[in-house]
Structure 1
Amino acid sequence: MDQTAFPPGSRAPFAERPEISRGRFFDEPASRTRSAFARDRDRIIHCTAFRRLKGKTQVFVAHEGDHYRTRLTHSLEVAQIARSLAHALRLDQDLAEAIALAHDLGHPPFGHAGEDELQIRMADWAGFDHNVQTFRVVTRLEARYPAFDGLNLTWETLEGVVKHNGPVSHRLDEPAWRAIADYARARPELDLDLGGFASLEAQAAAVADDIAYNNHDVDDGVRSGLISLEELEGVPLIGSVLAGARADWPHIDDHMLRLETVRRMIGVMVEDVLAETGRRLAADGVQTIDDVRRARRTMVAFSEPMMAELGGLRRFLYDKVYRHYRVNRIRSQARRILAEMFDLFLAEPELLPPEWQARAVGADQAKRARAVCDYIAGMTDRFAIDEHRRLFNLDVANDL
């Protein structure tokens, strides 16, 4: 793709345009000061689920240290990278940022361990999927407006939330995805075209997520002592970047060397995505938004050589960080906390806070389970730990 083909400051012809958005589930007058996509971004930033991300983590539990990434800091990093990609590709930056900021809203406490446990607990009641939970948060669970439930986001933002990793029509038979199928039936004219690809803005948010988490897991892994810079020397992708940083700055300490290496690696990955995206757009003749949705593959993507190197890095992180015995202990504790709370709330819903009791007490088993799941999924790591102590430790009964 020849970026010089577009005048400075202009959008590419395959960029989304807020002025011709397909609209919202509930009609609203346009904002006088913001585009439709900027308004979506601001609603996401101000919602309760977004604030709670500051207390949710992916690998480390939030109380272990102030310097480890949380889901909030991760989402901000993803948004920054997504916005940079959108700027370089002349896409709508507000839409890319909104999707990036929303992409983790449905994650439960304790990262993947929490999701794994909720999937098990909800196996008999339509399951649990964090992407679907994000959709439920922004279309139903957030209660901030008197006229509607959820955030009433635009079609384009909702599409990006659901499909940023590619078409999902093949998943609609999964019980956990019924919420999205139900939404499509309620307003057929706002069908999310689940068999097609999402916008390039959504694709930019998805690849920005990959860039951010691979780099911050390296950074946090070294910071925590689970891995060392010396161990990274032979690891695909980062090994060569580390060697280059060390050659250019032979006298800096390990702290600065780590930061410089991560900074450079983000740059290498971003440049690879931009180059590969240009090649794919040109090779596939993508000229319009419709071309993007009907394409035969993702457009905003890593090159094959970069994917191969990333595969090696991810295998290293899996072995050395994600399955380190210290992390395994955290995962085990986290799953037991959520399992015990889920089973107790399901058996005794009157123990739930009043607003959740209203959904659970007297409901059938499936609706009760979903209410319990929603309550737990919204918790931060620290709140889940404290709530478990209040429920199971008599010594803290006075804190109730």
Structure 2
Amino acid sequence: MTVPPLSAPVTPPPPVSAPTPAAATPPAPPVGLLRACASDPARSRGRLHDEHESPPRTAFQRDRDRIIHCGAFRRLQYKTQVFVYHEGENYRTRLTHSLEVAQIARSVARVLGLDEDLAEALALAHDLGHTCFGHAGEKVLRACMRDHQGFDHNAQSLRIVTKLEHRYIAFDGLNLTWESLEGLVKHNGPLVGRPDSRPLPLAIAEYAETHDLDLHTHAGPEAQVAALADDIAYNAHDIDDGLRAGLFSEDDLRDVPLAGPVFRALADAHPGLERSRLIHESVRRLINAMIADLCAETARRFAEARPERVEDVRAMDRPLVAFSDAMRDHDRAFKAFLFPNMYRHHRVNRMTSKARRVVHDLFHLLLAEPALLPDDWGRRAAAAGDDTSRRARVVADYIAGMTDRFALDEHARLFDPSVKP
């Protein structure tokens, strides 16, 4: 995919950092407002497998470092969100997205007085369980696993950090702290005990039998920050990628709340502004507006609930960290625009159609002929014996860990007679 040509370079415009009326922000809350509610690494509930800690790093810093160094994190470099890897190097991958989420989460945690390292660790880990080819790949794998106890990318993230990473002598997985694990599985809210609770994904249900993650409560505030940092990054950066890829134009955004006024105000204030600067500055202002709203609404909820410790945050009947009602409406409007204009654009549809066939073909062939799996995966499949669901889980783990590039190459090796196996 080729990035559309940009306008000719112009002399850099005057500073444009002052907010436009369209991007006006609410008053900032006092710095460190939630400090008493922050997760304290010195008071962590610990790890499933006892270990000596590693000073001078805190337990949460050590979690972050283990996530960064694990194989699943490195593979995010070639896992895409919307565009398949070979369409160009100018678009977000799961890795660059995770880094951007981590930056936003860490910045918000600093303002609110929360533990920055835990917020960063959760942001970096939140996409580890995603399959190749973004949501298209996950949708197919979920359908393939429908009769084999399902597939869920959030549960797959837990499988990776508790079972699938084989790095340490004493245990499988990364042996993260309780706080990191509960934040990973509960960042969107309690998983049991609510009227809208769905059946637990297998990986979470199995793990909870040996390590209770209090699935009936909200996660700590750092996990709540990481979850909304993900929303902020997704909305702003998908608009950025979509514009640069030529899937839609700035004019197409004119009726989208928040985004339209921000782009118009900046263009009116700086006629003839170079397109790349217009896009970057507008996206920057969108991010700033969403962060400011998050901090202001969180301060309002804090003033109402007055939690005094992290346990009080978990016990609340709603999240402490949140967008205002108005910003939630903007979030829905962003998604309503992006769905038809980006995620279902015909150029994206053509590639995701191919991607769906790749995942479908790989799953059904490898489930029927597990001898085609690489040695270590083949041994795991053989250990499942006649249990088809266990064998299907091995195949799903193998495929979910693939990058876009590896999945395409593996499909060619297994289905194209002209390609060497």
TM-score range normalised by the length of the shorter chain:
over 0.9
Given the superposition, is the C-alpha separation of residues 4 and 378 from structure 1 closer, same or farther in structure 2, using an over 3 Å criterion? closer
Q: Which residue of 1 aligns with 2:21?
A: none
**Following the alignment from structure 1 to structure 2, what is the Cα–Cα distance between the partners of residues 334 and 5?**
45
Does residue 252 in structure 1 map to residue 277 in structure 2? no
The equivalent position to 2:223 in structure 1, one of 181, 190, 202, is 202
Aligned-residue CA RMSD in angstroms?
1.5
- CA apart distance, 1:181: 2.0
Does residue 350 in structure 1 map to residue 377 in structure 2? no
Q: 1:221-232 counterparts in 2 under 5 A? A: 221-232=242-253
Q: Which residue of 2 aligns with 1:324?
A: 345
**Following the alignment from structure 1 to structure 2, what is the Cα–Cα distance between the partners of residues 47 and 174?**
29
Aligned residues of 1:172 and 1:178 also touching (Cα < 8 A): no
Aligned residues of 1:97 and 1:205 also touching (Cα < 8 A): yes
Q: 1:82-161 counterparts in 2 under 5 A? A: 82-161=105-184
Q: Which residue of 1 aligns with 2:313?
A: 292
- CA apart distance, 1:361: 2.4
**Following the alignment from structure 1 to structure 2, what is the Cα–Cα distance between the partners of residues 257 and 4?**
31
User: Which segment drifts farther, 38-47 or 304-313?
Assistant: 304-313
Q: Which residue of 1 aligns with 2:304?
A: 283
- CA apart distance, 1:2: 5.8
- CA apart distance, 1:250: 2.2
Aligned residues of 2:267 and 2:278 also touching (Cα < 8 A): yes
Q: Which residue of 1 aligns with 2:71?
A: 48
Counterpart of 1:174 in structure 2: which amino acid?
P
Structure 1 gap ranges (5+): none
Q: 1:21-36 counterparts in 2 under 5 A? A: 21-36=44-59
Q: Which has the higher helix share?
A: 1
**Following the alignment from structure 1 to structure 2, what is the Cα–Cα distance between the partners of residues 348 and 163?**
36
Indicate the SS of the match to 2:219: coil
**Following the alignment from structure 2 to structure 1, what is the Cα–Cα distance between the partners of residues 88 and 166?**
32
Q: Which residue of 2 aligns with 1:216?
A: 237
Give the structure-1-normalised TM-score.
0.95
Counterpart of 2:322 in structure 1: which amino acid?
A
Does residue 178 in structure 1 map to residue 202 in structure 2? yes
Indicate the SS of the match to 1:140: helix
Structure 2 gap ranges (5+): 1-27
Give the structure-2-normalised TM-score.
0.90
**Following the alignment from structure 1 to structure 2, what is the Cα–Cα distance between the partners of residues 147 and 249?**
60
Q: Which residue of 1 aligns with 2:30?
A: 3
**Following the alignment from structure 2 to structure 1, what is the Cα–Cα distance between the partners of residues 368 and 330?**
48
Q: 1:76-107 deviations in whole A, cap 9, x for unaligned?
A: 00000000010000000000000000000000
The equivalent position to 1:163 in structure 2, one of 166, 172, 186, is 186
- CA apart distance, 1:362: 5.4
Q: 1:299-320 deviations in whole A, cap 9, x for unaligned?
A: 1111001111221121011111
Q: Which residue of 2 aligns with 1:338?
A: 359
Aligned residues of 2:32 and 2:114 also touching (Cα < 8 A): no
Q: 1:64-79 counterparts in 2 under 5 A? A: 64-79=87-102
Indicate the SS of the match to 1:153: coil
Aligned residues of 1:118 and 1:128 also touching (Cα < 8 A): yes
Q: 1:265-276 counterparts in 2 under 5 A? A: 265-276=286-297
Aligned residues of 1:346 and 1:369 also touching (Cα < 8 A): yes
**Following the alignment from structure 2 to structure 1, what is the Cα–Cα distance between the partners of residues 360 and 257?**
38
Aligned pairs, number: 390
Indicate the SS of the match to 1:342: helix
Counterpart of 1:361 in structure 2: which amino acid?
A
Q: Which residue of 2 aligns with 1:264?
A: 285
Counterpart of 2:304 in structure 1: which amino acid?
A
Aligned residues of 1:86 and 1:201 also touching (Cα < 8 A): yes
Aligned residues of 2:31 and 2:112 also touching (Cα < 8 A): no
User: Which segment drifts farther, 239-248 or 259-268?
Assistant: 239-248
- CA apart distance, 1:5: 7.6
Q: Give me the identity figure in percent.
A: 56
Does residue 305 in structure 1 map to residue 326 in structure 2? yes
Aligned residues of 2:256 and 2:334 also touching (Cα < 8 A): yes
Aligned residues of 1:237 and 1:310 also touching (Cα < 8 A): no
Indicate the SS of the match to 2:105: helix
Q: 1:7-57 deviations in whole A, cap 9, x for unaligned?
A: xxxx71100000010000000001122000000000000000000000001
Q: 1:129-184 deviations in whole A, cap 9, x for unaligned?
A: 00000000000000110110000000000010000111111588636x12222222
